[in-house]
């Protein structure tokens, strides 16, 4: 397993990572609401049930509505200051979505060039504090739509390709969540996984959790 015993893994991203979490960002003695109701909570539950001796600590720093621009503004406090051993970054859905749902508000659009530059800067800020590049996981954004010719799906794939390129450039770990959804979309309609093709229902979060656990070597 990628996660060493007694290590701390931090997940950061947008509403998919947030998933209604409490602001403290990690379980309290009264439950795990701080991890939200999505894939982060599923991952933590699996690690606790399957690798209890490893005592892996899970933190959630997802924030609904955020883009990579927002992540950059809070990176020091929400990542570096917490001194995680492993960091997972999944961002880009809002960077793309705002170009479609608010096309006239161009000031909030994060175009590919800014996305790649900013995400690359975050990687460069983070690698020096980790034990190695394999402790940083770069994760693609996704759009739960099987038609690759759909305009938003095509644009999301472009951002996913940027994440892949950065992972190759810096030698980090890489997770293609779009591929994980595509494997399921070959057998079911997107509406069964997410009403808006963005925010997954429980089955969609389970798809994400399985993909993360597989990449972490925890399945």
pLDDT digits (tens, 9 = 90+) for 89-112: 999 999 999 999 999 999 999 999
pLDDT at res. 22: 81
Cα 159 from Cα 115, distance rounded (Å) = 8
Tokens read off for 88: 């997972």
User: pLDDT tens digit string along 53-67?
Assistant: 999 999 999 999 999
Confidence grade of residue 30 (pLDDT, cut at 50, 70, 90): very low
Mean pLDDT for all residues in the chain: 95
Cα 181 from Cα 98, distance rounded (Å) = 22
pLDDT at res. 2: 84
Confidence grade of residue 27 (pLDDT, cut at 50, 70, 90): low
Please report, in angstroms and rounded to a whole number, the separation of the first and last CA atoms in the chain.
9
User: pLDDT tens digit string along 176-189?
Assistant: 999 999 999 999 99
Cα 108 from Cα 71, distance rounded (Å) = 14
**Distance from CA of residue 132 to its chain's centroid?**
19
- Tracing tokens 């996660």 back to the chain, one arrives at 3
The CATH superfamily of 8-215 is SGNH hydrolase (3.40.50.1110)
Cα 95 from Cα 67, distance rounded (Å) = 5
The residues annotated with a catalytic role in the active site are 15, 196, 199
The structural domains of the chain, with segments of one domain joined by +, span: 8-215
């Amino acid at each position: 397993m990628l996660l060493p015993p007694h290590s701390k893994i931090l997940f950061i991203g947008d509403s998919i990572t947030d998933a209604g979490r409490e602001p403290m960002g990690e379980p309290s003695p009264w439950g795990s609401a701080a991890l939200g109701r999505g894939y982060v909570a599923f991952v933590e539950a699996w690690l606790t049930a399957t690798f209890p001796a490893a005592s892996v600590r899970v933190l959630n720093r997802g924030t609904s509505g955020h883009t990579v621009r927002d992540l950059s503004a809070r990176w020091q406090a929400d990542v570096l200051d917490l001194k995680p051993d492993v960091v997972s970054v999944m961002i880009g859905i809002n960077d793309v979505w705002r170009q479609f749902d608010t096309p006239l508000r161009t000031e909030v659009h994060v175009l590919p060039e800014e996305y790649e530059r900013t995400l690359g800067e975050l990687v460069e800020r983070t690698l020096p504090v980790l034990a190695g590049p394999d402790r940083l996981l770069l994760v693609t954004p996704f759009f739960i739509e099987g038609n690759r010719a759909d305009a938003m799906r095509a644009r999301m794939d472009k951002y996913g390709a940027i994440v892949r390129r950065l992972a190759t450039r810096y030698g980090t770990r890489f997770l293609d969540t779009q591929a994980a959804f595509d494997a399921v979309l070959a057998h079911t309609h997107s509406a069964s996984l997410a009403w808006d093709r963005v925010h997954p229902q429980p089955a969609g979060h389970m798809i994400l959790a399985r993909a993360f656990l597989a990449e972490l070597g925890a399945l």
